[in-house]
């Protein structure tokens, strides 16, 4: 299930977003550092001081993750792979790409750029700590700077492990892609290495919990193992989807037996004569032959029933947007991605402002489930799709 994302700020021209899982991660990091780590490194401080050290660590990690993802984004842009924004989530961060990977070299260089940046940031924090101690003295701030330096170096080392979806696994995928000339096969191989690494992390988590009785370390390694495995599995599914749907136009899956309504229709008539008769959850609103909006069952149910008789569809319909409407020649993979992201069961197909039909999540999912079983090794096309 996707979490709601909020935009935090812009950095190097990229929009930085965060979902709810990132805030959970931030709290977990702050608690771990302030209650378990810093009291052992620097004794004799007040609890308030440890808490501030934990907060500063979270801020430093936030900066580190963003720099890591900006490095990915800059190299991706150099190889003509457009990055839309940077999103923070429980696994850390991701530079979200629009469209598809361009070629193996671009994927490889983009993958190694992240760990390289983390190593540089780690050395920067270590140098800052040494300069602070040289000109002032060793205290809580110098400990935080040293810790951030060490964490970044550990992040760089962890990420170069050839286990997808870690950066090392993406580099491995690029190498296999180069020799196999098949991105789906390369993703499966890299994901298999990621799954093996994930099981190793989970086993180490159990060792910490059962043998060492270290709950904090056990939780952290368990979370990492679970997320590596889940992310790798998801990546294979997404790649198979792109392979099968990326070159297919929406028009192939479109059906035109969809009932439309007028903006002048009352909500009461909409419920009695359309929703109860046709069992559609979403109705296109058409006025003078032009598609002007969308009215959904959820919008109707959110209204006070006493208002159904005098409110009209025009007052409750949602305006058209890229979340609802797609062109007939657009990629079916893009349409499916939008439906998954925004929880849509259906998207309307429109050309030059006129309704052409609709495409449903169920139809695309059925096509994928059958096609993957029949032809799971179909090569993926690396060209850009129509938008």
101 lies in a domain?
yes
Confidence band of 90 (pLDDT split at 50, 70, 90): low
3-state secondary structure of 295: strand
d(CA 359, CA 346): 6
Per-residue exposure over 258-272, b if at least 16 CB sit within 10 Å of its own CB, e if not:
beebebebebbbbbe
Is 109 found in the same domain as 134?
A: yes
For residue 8, what are its two tokens? 């935090």
pLDDT at 383 over 60: no
Where is 291: in which H helix or E strand?
Answer: strand 290-296
Q: 61, exposed or middle or buried, with CB in 10 Å at 0-12, 13-18, 19+?
A: buried
- Which residues form the domain of 260? 250-374
d(CA 12, CA 316): 39
Q: What is the pLDDT of residue 319?
A: 83
For residue 377, what are its two tokens? 């090794």
pLDDT at 323 over 90: no
245, 280, 297 - which closes a domain: 245
Answer yes or no: are the C-beta atoms of 30 and 54 closer than 8 Å: yes
Confidence band of 4 (pLDDT split at 50, 70, 90): low
387 lies in a domain?
no
Is 168 found in the same domain as 131?
A: yes
Closest alpha carbon to 359 in 368, 347, 341, 351: 347
3-state secondary structure of 339: helix
Is 190 found in the same domain as 46?
A: yes
285 lies in a domain?
yes
CA–CA distance from 192 to each of 8, 229, 259 (Å)? Answer: 35, 9, 46
Q: 349, exposed or middle or buried, with CB in 10 Å at 0-12, 13-18, 19+?
A: buried
Residue range 360-372, pLDDT digits in tens: 888 888 888 777 6
Is 16 found in the same domain as 89?
A: yes
The mean pLDDT value for 155-167 works out to: 90
Answer yes or no: are the C-beta atoms of 85 and 8 closer than 8 Å: no
Pairing state of beta strands 346-351 and 325-326?
Answer: parallel
Residue range 54-77, pLDDT digits in tens: 999 999 998 998 899 889 888 988
Please report, for the domain that includes residue 291, its CATH number: 3.10.580.10
Is 167 found in the same domain as 303?
A: no
218, 245, 272 - which closes a domain: 245
230, 245, 260 - which closes a domain: 245
213 lies in a domain?
yes
Q: 74, exposed or middle or buried, with CB in 10 Å at 0-12, 13-18, 19+?
A: middle
Is 150 found in the same domain as 12?
A: yes
Question: Could you tell me where the DSSP H helices lie in 91-182?
Answer: 104-135, 140-159, 167-180
381 lies in a domain?
no
Closest alpha carbon to 286 in 253, 251, 325, 250: 325
d(CA 331, CA 100): 12
353 lies in a domain?
yes
- DSSP symbol at 302: T
- 280 CB neighbour count, 10 Å cutoff: 18
d(CA 93, CA 343): 22
Is 95 found in the same domain as 162?
A: yes
Total residues found in the chain within this entry: 387
Most confident of 104-118, 176-190, 304-318: 104-118
d(CA 178, CA 184): 12
Is 235 found in the same domain as 287?
A: no
Answer yes or no: are the C-beta atoms of 330 and 387 closer than 8 Å: yes
Q: What is the pLDDT of residue 373?
A: 66
Residue range 167-214, pLDDT digits in tens: 999 999 999 999 988 887 888 888 889 999 999 999 999 999 999 888
Per-residue exposure over 111-132, b if at least 16 CB sit within 10 Å of its own CB, e if not:
bbbbbbbbbebbebbbebbeeb
Answer yes or no: are the C-beta atoms of 283 and 312 closer than 8 Å: no
3-state secondary structure of 64: helix
d(CA 96, CA 16): 10
Residue range 17-42, pLDDT digits in tens: 877 777 888 888 899 899 888 999 98
| Domain count along the chain | 2
Is 156 found in the same domain as 75?
A: yes
210 lies in a domain?
yes
67 lies in a domain?
yes
Q: What is the pLDDT of residue 386?
A: 30
d(CA 197, CA 190): 11
Is 204 found in the same domain as 256?
A: no
Is 295 found in the same domain as 177?
A: no
Is 217 found in the same domain as 204?
A: yes
Give 286's strand partners.
Answer: 291
Q: What percent of the chain has pLDDT over 70?
A: 91
């Amino acid at each position: 299930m996707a979490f709601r994302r909020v935009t935090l700020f812009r950095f190097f021209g990229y929009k930085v977003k965060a979902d709810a899982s990132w805030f959970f991660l931030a709290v977990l990091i702050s608690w771990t550092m302030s209650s378990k780590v810093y009291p052992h490194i620097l004794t004799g401080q007040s609890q308030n001081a440890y808490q501030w050290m934990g907060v500063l660590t979270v801020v430093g990690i936030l900066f580190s993750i963003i720099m890591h993802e900006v490095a990915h984004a800059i190299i991706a842009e150099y190889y003509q792979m457009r990055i839309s924004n940077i999103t923070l989530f429980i696994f850390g961060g991701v530079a979200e790409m629009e469209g598809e990977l361009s070629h193996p070299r671009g994927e490889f260089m983009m993958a190694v750029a992240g760990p390289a940046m983390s190593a540089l940031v780690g050395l920067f924090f270590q140098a800052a700590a040494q300069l602070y101690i040289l000109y002032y003295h060793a205290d809580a701030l110098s400990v935080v700077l040293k810790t951030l330096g060490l964490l970044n170096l550990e992040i760089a080392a962890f990420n170069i492990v050839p286990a997808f979806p870690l950066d090392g696994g993406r580099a491995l995928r690029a190498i296999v892609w180069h020799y196999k000339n098949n991105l789906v096969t390369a993703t499966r191989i890299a994901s298999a290495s990621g799954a093996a690494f994930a099981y190793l992390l989970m086993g180490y988590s159990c060792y910490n919990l059962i043998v060492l009785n270290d709950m904090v370390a056990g939780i952290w390694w368990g979370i990492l193992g679970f997320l590596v495995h889940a992310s790798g599995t998801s990546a294979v599914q997404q790649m198979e989807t792109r392979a099968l749907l990326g070159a297919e136009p929406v028009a192939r899956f479109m059906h035109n037996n969809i009932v439309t309504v007028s903006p002048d229709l009352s909500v009461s008539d909409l419920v009695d004569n359309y929703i109860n008769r046709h069992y559609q959850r979403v109705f296109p609103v058409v006025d003078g032959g032009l598609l002007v909006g969308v009215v959904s069952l959820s919008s109707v149910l959110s209204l006070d029933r006493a208002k159904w008789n005098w409110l009209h569809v025009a007052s409750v319909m949602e305006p058209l947007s890229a979340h609802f409407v797609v062109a007939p020649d657009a990629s079916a993979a893009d349409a499916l991605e939008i439906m998954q992201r925004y929880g849509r069961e259906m998207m309307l197909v429109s050309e030059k402002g006129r309704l052409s039909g609709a495409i449903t999540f169920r139809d695309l999912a059925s096509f994928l489930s059958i096609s993957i079983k029949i032809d799971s090794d179909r090569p993926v096309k690396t060209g850009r799709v129509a938008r």
